[in-house]
Structure 1
Amino acid sequence: MTVPAALPGPGSDGPHPDGTIRQIGLAGALSANLLNMIGIGPFITIPLALAAMGGPQALLGWLLGALLCLCDGFVWAELGSALPRSGGPFHYLREAFGPAKLGRLFGFLYLWQTLLIGPMSIASGTVGLAHYATFLWPALTGWGIAALAAGVCLLNTGLLWRDVRSVQRLSVAVSAIVIGACLWIIVSGAFHFDAARAFSFPAGAFSPTSAFWMGLGAATLIGVYDYGGYNNVCMLGGEVREPRRTIPRAVLISIPLVATLYVGLNLSILGVLPWQQAMKSQAVVADFMQVIYGHAGGVIVAVLILIASWASALVVLLGYSRVPFTAAVEGEFFAPFARLHPRGRFPTVALLFMGAASAVACLVSLDNLIAALIVVQTLFQYTAQCFAVVLLRRQKRPDAASGFRMPLYPLPLVVTLIGWLFIVGTSRPIHILGGIAAMMLGTAVFLGLARRRASWPFER
């Protein structure tokens, strides 16, 4: 069957059936991922990882997190290539599990989850930004931190009220600045690196005790949070040019690139600051640069980190605003969320909702935002997507035959599932129970709506 010129297929570069336009190339797709990944995360979580494991052996968490994310990246690359549509996982789960039956529940649960974790993800970046701003503005405390974080969320909502092409140009420019800043930090540390200080492991650092495994789980969770964002291009699938090639390349290039930067950052800091001091720091990178270059060096790097965290939150908001939009286009969410700006062709109601909800989420503490974010995603979406790859392959979709296929299948799926189970199993019970409760409530809401509509599983 031929596709009408006005409604090209998902792999073409013309206007998409949902009204968006494919105008993001590889540079824009890669920068969208990199800006999401290289945000405030590592600059504020390095002390948390060191404290979780009680020493520089926390590097294991970063390495294990990188391996897990690379395997999960193969999952995202294959799914994004097979179904390159805005809102990514909403379509992956619906199509894999059957759009007429169980896939409807899974698609709805992903949407439900996104309404929770989307604002938390955005807020974690802006709350981290506000905490880091205290290095420049020590009087900023308490409600002032929350107000600054919420203000950045609202500012970004206004900045995204435009054609996506201008955002693409901005993301490419800021990506260059962020990567340049990371390289400056790494090179500075290399010239002052003290191996004895960097690898001063405490006694029993690698003893396989329960405390070691719990600490490794916490450090890996932090690493996964900091690497998170390699899937951002999948949320924008309907706006990506040559998506079957561009999406996998953007995902699989961004992970090793950022992993190299993060391991370099960790080693640079540990080689200059004693880990006992680093794990208690509120602005560890600024403190590190201050040791090398004095106060001016700390101020300069603090400003660069604030720029990175602002841009990261901007791109995360861009990606998550597309999820309720595409669900509404599919008729699975409130119709107003399907509205597009008449000139800029960007979602309006969906963008406003995510911006406002993220501002409210800034009232939650940073550590709880990070833990809840990862556990909720892991309990449902990340594990379900592994099975989605298997189910889509069994469907033998003709449009996916020319797309990306993960190497060594199904080994990456097995490693990914084991990694997610390890993270959940070593998490705090309150976050696990909260994630389960959120999914149960979402299921109840879905069943209530299905009964009202007399749709699956209540068809007449």
Structure 2
Amino acid sequence: MAKVSAAEGLAPRAMDVGPEGADNDGDSGNGVRLKKELSLMNGVAIIVGVIVGSGIFVSPSLALKYAGSKGMALIVWVLSGFLSMIGALCYAELGTMIPKSGGDYAYIGEAFGPLLSFLYLWVALFVLVPTGNAITALTFAQNILQPLWPDCTPPRAANTLIAAIITCFLTVINCYNVKWVTRVQDSFTAAKILAFVITFIASLWYLFSGHTENLESIMEGTNTAPGDLAIAFYTGLFSYSGWNYLNFVTEELKEPYKNLPRAICISMPVVTLVYALTNVAYFAVLTNGEIHSSEAVAVTFSEKILGVMSWIMPLFVAMCTFGSLNGAIYASSRLFFVGARNGHLPLAISLIDIRRLTPVPSLVFMCLVTLIVLLTNNVESLIVYVTAVEALFTLCSVAGLLWMRYKRPLLMRPIRVNLLLPIAFLIICTFLVVFSCFTHPQEVGIGVAFTALGVPIYFVFIQWQNKPQWLQSTCNSFNLACSKLFLCLPENSKDL
């Protein structure tokens, strides 16, 4: 590797603004840069693979708890899918109008400036991404270990250890080769769909055998309290979270103008249908009490209906969460890569491996933060905490769409959604955030407070230009050490 100076070789690279740079081929020239390797089907696999993870196996009991009845819970699941679809279509316009990796970070920055985009990056780095990855990894570990402890819950230490191992393993795969990542994602997405088909067919067999008692009086006990329904929607929306992850890797998507909206329009209806049918299967086989008392609804379902073959369901759940975690690690690492490239994180995180052309420092840093979060185990609080904070910044992104419609009407928009969609999305999400404050004020308050903490961090470490020389030297030394350790260079470097 060529010698890199701390002052020049590791300087931040400006990011292209606007769609005119969208068709720049990631493979053009001899510079070090991420390559355009994602096809339409890879994009569909990433969206479906990231969404269908731990949520569908963790959230059904929580959704039923706050919805009160199976009928209302099913309505919540379907409406959550429609709401996510509306949000995804709004993001299709944002992603083709601002075809840059980084998702919400890029859109909020374009619309409202660097402070709000930094706050999103701050929250995503320490809350949204590592918490979501930790929940998925813990769900994987619990289902892998469950057959070894058939009559009780696996030890927490064993869960945490397995979750940490699988997080590190997938990080290594992501560091090594993007094509390996997409092959894993495509394979496990297909396996997920097969798992849900088996679940639904098994429930149909159960129903046709005359067991319809669990679907009688399906609306009995419905809860209409706005605060509780808001939390029910939170649990549903948590299960759909990930629909915007393809926007994180727009720069690596082939023909983003065509493939980004197509991938969204294919994947979201598929996920909504799969989730609805899966919940119908759960509700047909299990009583309300069995769902409420279960930490892993899919496992309880398999034990009741599959008999000696019940071991297959934990295996399928593990496959689902494995693929989901793989896709989340791949997509979210690009968010932090872009943030560092813009100078909002240490420049070392924006370096690219000179041999494999992957953002190794970003992946390693995200892995370390996720390992720390793995020590937390209150899933319900984490879901409310994460979804409330994420909803606030999703509102900012969609508000940015409306703001740029007004301020920059001539900006090229290959996709232009009906104005009613972002307005409806804003209104609904605002009500959900407001009502959730009444039932879980502590979780929502912590999320808002942590977001506000990013403001002084921004002014001290980003906005303050005349930093002491010792601090600048320390940062440069750290960046140079990471460059040597990981054999990485800044994007577009040509002196290899």
TM-score by length of structure 2 reads 0.83
Q: Within 2, Cα distance between the matches of 1:133 and 1:47? A: 20
Question: What is the CA–CA distance in structure 1 between the aligned matches of 2:227 and 2:96, rounded to whole Å?
Answer: 36
CA deviations on 1:314-348 (whole Å, 9 max, x unpaired) are 11111111112112222332111111011211111
1:191 aligns with 2:205: yes
- Give the 3-state SS of the residue equivalent to 1:252 in structure 2: helix
Partner residue of 2:429 out of 419, 423, 444: 419
Amino acid at match of 1:322: R
* Alpha-carbon distance, 1:202 to partner: 6.6
1:438 maps to 2:446: no
> Structure 1 stretch 335-344 or stretch 413-422: which is displaced more?
413-422
Residues 151 and 359 in structure 1, CA contact (< 8 A), matched pair in contact too = no
Deviations 1:412-440 (A, max 9, x none): 33334323431452251111111111111
Distance 1:272 1:412, change over 3 A: same
- Runs of 5+ in structure 2 lacking a partner? 1-15, 468-496
Deviations 1:113-146 (A, max 9, x none): 1112111111111122223334212262122222
Query: Matches of 2:56 and 2:115 in 1, distance apart?
Result: 35
Equivalent residue letter for 1:111 = L
One-letter code aligned to 2:142: H
Structure 2 residue aligned with 1:279: 292
Out of 86, 90, 111, the residue aligned to residue 71 of structure 1 is: 86
User: Is 1:374 matched with 2:387?
Assistant: yes
Note the 1:18-417 alignment, pairs <5 A.
19-56=33-70, 57-97=72-112, 103-116=113-126, 117-138=128-149, 140-193=154-207, 194-201=211-218, 203=220, 205-206=221-222, 208=224, 210=225, 213-296=226-309, 298-365=310-377, 366-379=379-392, 381-396=393-408, 400-401=412-413, 403-407=414-418, 409-417=419-427
Asked whether the equivalents of residues 94 and 104 of structure 1 are also in contact (C-alpha less than 8 Å), the reply is: yes
Q: Which amino acid aligns with 1:36?
A: V
Show structure 1 runs of 4+ deviating over 6 A.
Answer: none
Shift of 1:60: 2.3
Residue 147 of structure 2 aligns to a residue in which SS?
coil
Given residue 121 of structure 2, which amino acid in structure 1 is its aligned partner?
L
Give the Cα–Cα distance (whole angstroms) in 1 for the partners of residues 344 and 223 of structure 2: 50
Query: Alpha-carbon deviation of 1:180?
Result: 1.0
Answer whether contact 2:134 2:371 (CA < 8 A) is retained: yes
Say whether the 8 Å CA contact 2:95–2:260 is kept in structure 1.
yes
Quick check: 2:99–2:250 contact (8 Å CA) kept in 1? yes
- Whichever of the two has the greater Rg, that structure is 2
Distance 1:411 1:305 in 2: 34
Contact 2:67 2:223 in 1 (8 A): no
TM-superposition CA deviations, 1:58-93 (whole Å, max 9, x none): 212212211221221122111111122221222111
Residues 280-337 of structure 1 show CA distances to partners (whole Å, capped at 9, x for unaligned) of 12332222223332132x1012101101101111111111111121122223321111
Aligned 8 A contact 2:391 2:429 in 1: no
Hey, what's the Cα distance between the residues in 2 that align with 1:174 and 1:338?
29
Find the aligned partners of 2:304 and 2:223 in 1 and give their Cα distance.
33
How high is the TM-score relative to the length of structure 1?
Answer: 0.89
> Does the Cα contact within 8 Å between 1:10 and 1:85 map onto a contact in 2?
yes
In 2, the alpha carbon distance for the partners of 1:349 and 1:207 equals 47
- How many Å apart are 1:18 and its aligned residue? 8.0
Give the Cα–Cα distance (whole angstroms) in 2 for the partners of residues 400 and 414 of structure 1.
Answer: 23
Aligned twin of 2:6? none
* Structure 1 residues 161 and 245: alpha-carbon distance in aligned structure 2, compared to 1, 3 A threshold: same
What secondary structure, in the 3-state scheme, does the structure 2 residue paired with 1:364 have?
coil
Amino acid at match of 1:144: A
Distance 1:88 1:282 in 2: 32
Amino acid at match of 2:228: G
1:196–1:221: structure 2 CA closer, same or farther, 3 Å change rule? same
How far, CA to CA, are the matches of 1:25 and 1:232 in structure 2? 15
Fraction of identical pairs, as percent? 24
Contact 2:32–2:352, Cα closer than 8 Å, also in 1: no
Say how many residue pairs are matched: 437
CA deviation profile, 1:372-422 (whole Å, cap 9, x unmatched): 11111122x111011110122234476633x11113x13433334323431
Q: Which amino acid aligns with 2:387?
A: I
